[in-house]
């Protein structure tokens, strides 16, 4: 049985790979910035998973965010994929 949330199925549903770099203030040294890289499959242009993670960060992580830089790339699009049902062999 196939996992309905496999990477391939997500990509076929329009998800792309979103990579975000979070710049945040260190809790013990507020004038020092550190970075954290987050990556997941997400839907552009709304990016619900990215914004859900940013909300989680604001509620649960002590280091306040300074800024977020992100990129989104669709690895395949529905037009680039065909489901093949059979195969013909010719000699």
pLDDT confidence tier of residue 10, bands split at 50, 70 and 90: confident
**Mean per-residue pLDDT, 41-57:** 95
Is residue 1 pLDDT above 50, yes or no?
no
The pLDDT of 20-24, averaged and rounded, is 95
3-16: b or e for each residue (b if 16 or more CB lie within 10 Å)? eeeeeeebbeeebb
pTM: 0.74
Confidence tier at 2 by pLDDT (50, 70, 90): very low
Q: What is the 3-state secondary structure (H, E, C) of 45-83?
A: CCCHHHHHHHHHHHHHCCCCEEEEEEEEECCCCHHHCCC
């Amino acid at each position: 049985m196939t996992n309905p949330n496999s990477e391939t199925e997500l990509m076929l549903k329009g998800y792309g790979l979103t990579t975000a770099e979070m710049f945040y203030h260190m809790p013990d040294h507020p004038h020092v910035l550190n970075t954290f890289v987050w990556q997941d499959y997400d839907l552009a242009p709304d990016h619900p998973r990215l914004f859900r993670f940013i909300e989680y960060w604001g509620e649960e992580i002590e280091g306040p965010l300074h800024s977020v830089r992100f990129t989104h790339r669709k690895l395949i699009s529905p037009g680039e994929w065909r489901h093949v049902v059979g195969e013909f062999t010719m000699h």
